[in-house]
Amino acid sequence: MKRIGLILVILCGAVLLYATKDFPAWGDPASPASTHLSPHYIQHALEETEVSNLVTAVLADYRGYDTMFETVVIFAAGLACFLLLRTFAARRKEGWYVRHIPTGVVIHFQRRPSIPESRVFERLDTQWVPHDLIIKTISRILIPFIQLFSLYVVAHGDFSPGGGFQGGVMFGATLVLMAISFDLRTALSKVGEKFLALLAASGVIVYGGIGVLCMLLGGEFLDYSELARILPVHAEEARALGMIGVEIGVGMAVTAVMAIIYVNIASAGRHDEGL
Amino acid sequence: MHWQIDLFILALIIVCALAAINVRDLLGAAILFGAYSFLMCLLWAVMGAVDVAFTEASVGAGVSTVFFVAAVFQTTRRSKD
């Protein structure tokens, strides 16, 4: 089986290498891409969209469809993780551990205990690692700053490197950091499963909704310049604002999907304990 | 000076990629893959593709490594082949 796989990989690689012969040479100034599209983007993007970061202008405006379906792909990945891994089976062969805090006695339950978490009783993970005060404190200090920076990255994608994807991943990473430095239940009590699912779906809806709004205003799908009819700005500025809008949608979807994937993988779909 | 940096990073990338395939410990493979992504990010930054470098640093080196580690934590550290 391994040998067949190796042969298949080598064959595919050979076909791909053979196909690259038809590409224009690397950096060829006479290739179609550098004679028609690139010069237009480079020379006109700033005046057409009022966005100084060319990459954002190309990704979110000129190729808006592409980015929209990238967001849908991310959403589908989160959905697949949820559908494949999430389980509601109540029975656990390891049982449940609850600690009585005043005495420090740990009780092992075969069935799910009906003791609510309080100042007297706390749930323990099966593979319990003592909480480290330094790690917890540092994370508690760092998380708000990372989240602020990720919001800055989303909002400032028009002018500097970054955008919805990067900012969303960073925001999702802070949720993962919270789940690792405290435990999974702490993170899930801050952002619930329903909230994450709604956030992921509404991120995609924000992106598609802006596109549909442009259609309702009489333009084409994702033609942000039509937003100038309802916003007190001219058409070029409306394109910049439309881009910020879709970046926020992308950021929401990516944040939620990162958290959904992590929680489902780390807890094997049980959402009660993990990593 | 530019091409020396490129060459050095490229050599390290190939070493990391081969090591990530060949190492038998899956946790080690996940970490090596993170190192590979980070070096890729450096290469993108040297080439001037800052947006791509940013994405590679956050997605490739950051979050996907955590996903791999979480998957290893739930399954097994030992590779079957």
pTM, rounded to two decimals = 0.85
Q: How many independent structural domains does chain A possess?
A: 1
Query: Which pLDDT score, from 0 to 100, does residue A90 have?
Result: 62
Within a domain: A42: no
Please indicate whether residue B4 or residue B81 has the higher confidence score (pLDDT). Answer: B4
> How confident is the model over B3-52, as pLDDT tens digits?
888 889 899 999 999 998 888 889 999 999 999 999 999 988 888 888 89
Query: Which pLDDT score, from 0 to 100, does residue A46 have?
Result: 82
Query: Which pLDDT score, from 0 to 100, does residue A238 have?
Result: 85
Question: How far is A116 from A130, CA to CA, in rounded Å?
Answer: 21
Within a domain: A124: no
CB-based contact B63 A169, cutoff 8 Å = yes
CB-based contact A53 B51, cutoff 8 Å = yes
Instruction: State the smallest CA–CA distance between residue A56 and chain B in angstroms.
Output: 9
Question: How far is B43 from B35, CA to CA, in rounded Å?
Answer: 12
User: Which residues 23-62 of chain B have a CB within 8 Å of chain A?
Assistant: 50-51, 53-55, 58-59, 62
Within a domain: A153: yes
Nearest CA in chain A to B75: A268
CB-based contact B67 A274, cutoff 8 Å = no
CB-based contact A166 B55, cutoff 8 Å = yes
Question: Looking at this predicted complex, what is its ipTM?
Answer: 0.87
Interface test with A, best of B41, B59, B69 (most A CBs within 10 A): B59
Query: Which pLDDT score, from 0 to 100, does residue A156 have?
Result: 87
Query: Which pLDDT score, from 0 to 100, does residue A195 have?
Result: 92
Domain, as residue range, for A141: 53-86+131-266
| B1 confidence band (pLDDT: 50, 70, 90) | low
- Looking at beta carbons, which residues of chain B come within 8 Å of A2? 81
- Looking at beta carbons, which residues of chain A come within 8 Å of B71? 265
| B81 confidence band (pLDDT: 50, 70, 90) | low
* Neighbouring-strand partners of residue A196: none
pLDDT mean for each 10 residues of chain A (275 residues): 92 93 79 80 82 85 89 93 84 76 83 77 76 88 94 87 89 91 84 90 92 87 83 83 90 93 87 76
